[in-house]
Amino acid sequence: MPSPSSPLFKDVAFVVYPVANVKTSRSFYEDTLGLKVTANWDDQWVEYDIGAGTLAITSADEKHRAGSHGATLALEVVDFDATIAHLKANAVSIADGPFESPACRGCIIRDPDGNELIVHARK
Residue 37 lies in a domain: yes
Please determine, for residue 3, whether its predicted confidence score (pLDDT) is greater than 60: no
C-alpha closest to that of 94 among 83, 78, 102, 103:
83
| Residue among 1, 60, 51 at smallest CA distance from 25 | 60
The structural domain count of the chain equals 1
- pLDDT tens readout for residues 13-54: 688 899 999 999 999 999 999 999 999 999 989 999 998 889
pLDDT at 35: 96
Q: What is the CATH number of the domain that holds 41?
A: 3.10.180.10
Residue 6 lies in a domain: no
Flag whether 48 is in a domain. Answer: yes
- Tens-digit pLDDT profile for residues 72-117: 788 888 889 999 999 998 999 999 999 998 878 999 999 998 888 8
Q: How confident is the model at residue 5 (pLDDT cuts 50, 70, 90)?
A: low
> Model-level pTM greater than 0.75?
no
Residue 39 is part of which domain span? Answer: 15-62+71-122
**Rg from Cα positions in the chain:** 16
